[in-house]
């Protein structure tokens, strides 16, 4: 089910000061997709999620789930959380340690007028979905972190919600388990064909898991797009920088060439994608991700987008080198294959692929 959010504003007050946690947010969350709210700490992700759930009352705006208005300040509508048809998975899983797996998963059904037999069937279905068949009697404390996360998911699913919401559900897992669990979660959610709203400040998690990402900053939505669009060709400098490591090189647009443009920078003219139609004469930035700075052979010297630099620092991190290349006053961060024979201080030619660097407004 889709979610429509219009003009949502939420203020908090602390020590006599107003904190605008959400600032007139408009957002369309499409049905049956994994939709992630991504942004730095304090940007308003959790507040937005809690407003959708009904745990927060916004100061202005409207929220509709599947066409039904569940909150409207103007129309005086407030549908309580338990009537919104939502499932929720929290950061701490909120698994009750004194209960076994069955009782944890059955919990949302206990207060409803449902027969014991139906509850048993629903719990078995939810546990089977998360591949924990047969774990009913296991005490919640005798589960691994990943299994606890799956119990939390089963509990969120047991009442067959229309929408499932996640607030940083993987942040308590160690790095390796987090990677496995997010893969598993994506596969579960894709199979379920359910609307999922997922909050994280972890860009890799957002890229790996989402169909769509909304990047937030200071209580507002800056950009919404699929992971590749946001990573390869973002509309916004803050987003480009937040979603991955980025070299941002300042300059002025000098020539337009179809979908591309030349930008005159401190290291020379560079041609890149100009999806935002930045006109000639405008100050702009060229965004190049470290993995798209290619090493070039000496005989490519003088070619377009090719420059001579000096390898200033080089750090071996196993799967690659992370390096910094200096060209005049500009220091570029690069990722270099570990097989390349290079040391700090070497002169090195690099080139930018014009389809994998893009212009942004300043």
Considering the rule CB under 6 A, would residue 31 count as an interface residue with ligand ATP? Answer: no
Tell me whether strands 330-336 and 321-327 are parallel, antiparallel or unpaired. Answer: antiparallel
Q: Are 256 and 320 in contact (CB under 8 A)?
A: no
- Minimum CB separation of residue 203 from ligand ATP in Å reads 13
Considering the rule CB under 6 A, would residue 233 count as an interface residue with ligand ATP? Answer: no
**If 0-12 CB within 10 Å is exposed, 13-18 middle and 19+ buried, where does residue 252 land?**
middle
Which residue's entry shows tokens 């068949």? 133
Q: Which is nearer to ligand ATP, 22 or 332 (CB)?
A: 22
- Residue 47-66 contact track with ligand ATP, rule CB under 6 A, x = bound: x-------------------
Q: Stretches 45-53, 128-136, 221-229, 325-333: which one binds ligand ATP (CB under 6 A)? A: 45-53
Considering the rule CB under 6 A, would residue 348 count as an interface residue with ligand ATP? Answer: no
- Minimum CB separation of residue 328 from ligand ATP in Å reads 38
The only residue of 1, 27, 29, 43 in contact with ligand ATP, by rule CB under 6 A: 43
Q: Which residues pair with 336 in a beta bridge?
A: 321
Distance between start and end Cα atoms, the chain: 37
**Rounded CA gap, 359 and 284, in Å?**
7
Our CA angle for 106, 115, 158, nearest 5°, is 30
- Minimum CB separation of residue 43 from ligand ATP in Å reads 4
The only residue of 15, 16, 41, 113 in contact with ligand ATP, by rule CB under 6 A: 41
- Minimum CB separation of residue 88 from ligand ATP in Å reads 14
Which residue's entry shows tokens 């219009």? 6
**Rounded CA gap, 259 and 166, in Å?**
39
Q: Stretches 44-52, 204-212, 237-245, 321-329: which one binds ligand ATP (CB under 6 A)? A: 44-52
Q: Are 1 and 163 in contact (CB under 8 A)?
A: yes
- Minimum CB separation of residue 205 from ligand ATP in Å reads 12
Ranges within 183-202 binding ligand ATP (CB under 6 A): 201
**Rounded CA gap, 278 and 262, in Å?**
10
Binding residues for ligand ATP, rule: CB under 6 A, are 12, 14, 19, 21, 39, 41-47, 201
């Amino acid at each position: 089910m889709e979610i429509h959010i219009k003009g949502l504003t939420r203020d908090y007050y602390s020590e006599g000061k107003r904190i605008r946690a959400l600032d007139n947010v408009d957002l369309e969350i499409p049905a049956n997709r994994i939709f992630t709210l991504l942004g730095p700490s304090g940007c308003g992700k959790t507040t937005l999620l809690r407003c959708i759930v009904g745990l927060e009352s916004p100061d202005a705006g409207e929220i509709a789930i599947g066409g039904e208005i569940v909150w409207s300040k103007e129309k005086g509508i407030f549908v309580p959380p338990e009537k919104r048809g939502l499932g929720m998975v929290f950061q701490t899983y909120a698994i009750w340690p004194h209960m076994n797996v069955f009782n944890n998963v059955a919990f949302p059904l206990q207060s409803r007028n449902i027969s014991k037999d139906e509850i048993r069937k629903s719990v078995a279905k939810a546990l089977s979905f998360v591949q924990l068949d047969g774990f009913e009697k296991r005490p919640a404390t005798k589960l691994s972190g990943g299994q606890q996360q799956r119990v939390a998911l089963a509990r969120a699913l047991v009442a067959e919600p229309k929408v499932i919401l996640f607030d940083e559900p993987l942040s308590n897992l160690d790095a390796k388990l987090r990677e496995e669990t997010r893969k598993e979660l994506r596969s579960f959610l894709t199979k379920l064909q359910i609307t999922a709203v997922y909050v994280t400040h972890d860009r890799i998690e957002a890229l790996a898991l989402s169909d769509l990402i909304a990047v937030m900053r200071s209580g507002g939505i800056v950009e919404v797009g699929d992971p590749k669009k946001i990573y390869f060709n973002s509309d916004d400098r803050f987003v480009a920088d937040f979603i991955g490591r980025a070299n941002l090189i300042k300059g002025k647009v000098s020539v337009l060439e179809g979908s591309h443009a030349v930008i005159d920078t401190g290291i020379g003219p560079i041609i890149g994608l100009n999806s935002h139609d930045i006109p000639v004469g405008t100050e702009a930035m060229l965004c190049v991700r470290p993995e798209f700075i290619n090493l070039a052979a000496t005989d490519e010297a003088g070619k377009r987008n090719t420059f001579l630099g000096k390898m200033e620092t080089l750090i071996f991190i196993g799967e690659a080198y992370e390096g910094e290349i200096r060209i005049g006053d500009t220091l570029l961060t690069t990722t270099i294959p570990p097989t390349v024979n290079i040391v700090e201080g070497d002169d090195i030619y690099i080139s930018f692929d014009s389809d994998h660097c893009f212009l942004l407004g300043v």
